Amino acid sequence: MPRNFSGTPWLAIACAAVLLLATATRAAARSRVRRTPIGPVLESDTQVLGYDVLIYRDQEGCGGAYFEVNRGSHLIYTSHPLCDAVLRVGALSSDDPDEKFLWPGNDLIGNGHPDLVVSGYTGGASCCLVFYMFELKPKFRSLGKIQTRDTDQLSPHFVRLEPGGGAELILHDWTFARWHASFESSPAPIVMLEYKNGGWRVASEVMREPAPTQAELETKANNVRLDTMAENYNDPFRTWPDAKIPSSMWANMLNLIYTGHPDLAWKFLDLAWPAEIRGKDRFLADFRAQLKHSPYYDEIEEMATKAASSTASSAAPAPAS
């Protein structure tokens, strides 16, 4: 006769054991999740003249990258996180031609002291290339931060025009990006920066170029005027901003302004604007308003003022003896 277990607690004991095993399994899984590293992860550690430069990436949020500069156990500097950024001590890659300028410990600004540069490249709204610059000796200090816009990581470059002098940074001013034109057609005048007076300033003496001759100015203006008339062939009596004005109009104007000849930029506009199209004064007002958004506007204006003053003094007759 088989034994009857219906009156014993064996079934309840078995069920309890299964529940205990499941609970233990879930607890172990939670323990493994807690042991998974979250938060900032160290990507690189570079030693430079007694300083540690630590680059981190935050695994949460937007994947922000940032860096710290430490000396011994003291935190000296920490940057704000940049979303989806690539950060590197020196240039962005070892085969970058700027690596020779940005190698940690090199003298970048030409005062005989070792410097440190951390380069970053980001996407999105904060695009694109950014340089963090520091002097390491005789004491640690910031040399400023340069952030470019709408620029791929290979466009800005450092050059050293004078042996033993500081390096200049060549980049583009994208203030007119997508202004009444596609991005591909948008002019972006060249700007050169140098470190002086405690910051990175427009290198006006380097940017200034000889003025074009009257014949050269008229030839370029004639070409732009013909292009403008062709753009408005079906309706030559339009008014700006409805009239189609090719971006070569303000590309030539910007080139003249950024090489120290704003007076010729206004003259170029007069020569290039077709008589049939109305709204030239409004165009000029819109152009000037957009130009004021440039981060270099004040210094470009100062360069123009100095150029005008220099031209006036050279044209002034010599005093009678």
Reference 204, options 250, 155, 168; nearest CA is 168
Please state, in angstroms and as integers, the Cα–Cα distance from residue 195 to each residue in 171, 199, 200, 310, following that order.
14, 5, 4, 24
Report d(CA 258, CA 252) in Å as an integer: 10
Report d(CA 154, CA 108) in Å as an integer: 19
Q: Which amino acid is at 45?
A: D
- Extended strands (E) in 49-202: 51-58, 65-71, 74-78, 86-89, 115-121, 129-135, 141-147, 157-159, 168-172, 190-196, 199-202
What is residue 60's predicted lDDT score, i.e. its pLDDT? Answer: 77
Side-by-side strand order, sheet with 86-89: 86-89, 115-121, 129-135, 141-147
Q: Which amino acid is at 176?
A: F
56: number of CA atoms within 13 Å, CB side?
A: 17
What is residue 10's predicted lDDT score, i.e. its pLDDT? Answer: 47
Structural domains of the chain in order of their starting residue, each with its CATH number:
40-172 (2.40.128), 173-312 (no CATH)
Contacts of residue 21, Cβ cutoff 8 Å, sequence gap at least 6: none
What is residue 95's predicted lDDT score, i.e. its pLDDT? Answer: 86
What is residue 200's predicted lDDT score, i.e. its pLDDT? Answer: 94
What is residue 9's predicted lDDT score, i.e. its pLDDT? Answer: 53
Reference 89, options 116, 66, 65; nearest CA is 116
| Tens digit of pLDDT at every position of the chain (321 positions) | 444 444 445 444 444 444 444 444 444 444 444 444 567 899 999 999 999 999 999 877 777 899 999 999 999 999 998 888 899 999 988 888 888 889 999 999 999 999 999 999 887 655 688 999 999 999 999 999 998 876 665 678 899 888 888 999 999 999 999 999 999 999 999 999 999 989 999 999 999 999 999 999 999 999 999 999 999 998 889 999 999 999 999 999 999 999 999 999 999 999 999 999 999 999 999 999 999 999 999 999 998 887 766 665 555 555 554
Report d(CA 59, CA 87) in Å as an integer: 15
What is residue 213's predicted lDDT score, i.e. its pLDDT? Answer: 97
